[in-house]
Amino acid sequence: MLKFLKYMRFVFSLFTLLVLSSCGDNGDFFYNSTRGGELGDPQEAKLREYYSRLEERKVSLGLLRQDGGGADTPFDFDDIVEAFEQLAFYNEYDIEKNKLLPNSNAVSLAKWKSNTNISVVFGVSVDKEQKDKDWQEINDLLSNLSKITNQKIKVSQQDVNMYVVVANQREIKDLIDEIGLQRPEFDPKRIPIITQLPKDIHCMAMTSMSSEPNSAISSALVIIRNELPDIMRRACIHEEIAQSLGLSNDSHFARPSIFNDDDEFATLTKFDEILLQILYDHRLNSGISKKEASQLVRQIANGINLAL
């Protein structure tokens, strides 16, 4: 969904592993760590205009669908299994010194074991009407994700382990600076790319986990630009929060899906819900390898497919 940067997994410290995702337009950035300075002090009105034109163009091409798919997007058992393996066991890139490095190596499965307690942080640029809309969208999505995964995923001010930041370009750095004081894994001084967003990046998500074997996702950070228009904004909320649950890649095998970089769908589809059901089946443990999980994935997918 609006992909460019994809998900990246890299060693952040001796104890933590990070996975980074973003939605953006095709282009090259972050190969030079100073590139983000191009938007050091942008005028919000210009960005809003840019994203509005972009959304109009995508919608005119039949992209950013919100219908969940239909007769034109059929899928079967093999499609489910292939997409899940690509999304859960591969990452597109590694990152090193703010440079993206291709990575085609299989990784172990990552998911949450603990409750996901989410704090939504708004910048002052988000007016009350927009804030109410965002709250409704986020709450509805979290309720749906909780039912799909059978996990406790909710907005909370206690034991927060996921932050969702909705802010304009100028506010993002200050808000993440504050979050970094509570969650040093997201300290922008150590990972500056999360606050050096050129306009090609619409939103992003980062998850962290222990580097120990069989570790689970322990925290996450989601960033949504306030300059985005309605559909792109909704697309970012759906994809970044959903992918923060552990489906760490994008693949053309995933259709109909938001976990695909073709921009076709803006909101969760039935196909996506099935993939998340598989991920959070109790038979799949965090840290399991693709080879170890192969037969289990087929068994789980077959059971879900038969019940459709």
For 91-114, the pLDDT digits (tens) are: 765 555 555 555 667 889 999 999
Rounded distance between C-alpha atoms, residue 232 and residue 230, angstroms: 6
Structural domain count of the chain? 1
**Residue 90 pLDDT level (bands cut at 50, 70, 90):** confident
Q: Read off the pLDDT of residues 209-241 as tens digits, 9 standing for 90 and up.
A: 877 777 899 999 999 999 999 999 999 999 999
Q: Is residue 3 part of a domain?
A: no
pLDDT the model gives residue 254: 95
Q: Which residue has the higher pLDDT, 111 or 21?
A: 111
Calculate the dihedral angle through the C-alpha atoms of 203, 223, 176, 201, rounding to the nearest 10 degrees: 0
Q: How far apart are CA 224 and CA 234, in angstroms?
A: 10
pLDDT band at 196 (very low <50, low <70, confident <90, very high): confident
pLDDT at 42 over 70: no
Alpha helices in 125-211, H assignment, sequence order: 128-149, 169-182
For residue 282, the model assigns a pLDDT of: 96
Domain assignment present for residue 2? The answer is: no
pTM of the model: 0.88
Specify whether the CB–CB gap between 165 and 223 falls below 8 A: yes
156 within domain boundaries: yes
In a domain, 107, yes or no: yes
- Environment class of 135 (CB within 10 Å of its CB; exposed 0-12, middle 13-18, buried 19+): middle
Q: Confirm whether 98 is domain-assigned.
A: yes
| Residue the block writes with tokens 């919000």 | 44
1, part of any domain: no
Of 159, 191, 198, nearest in space to 176 by CA: 191
pLDDT value, residue 8: 37
Q: Are strands 116-122 and 162-167 parallel, antiparallel or unpaired?
A: parallel
> Domain range for residue 254?
8-307
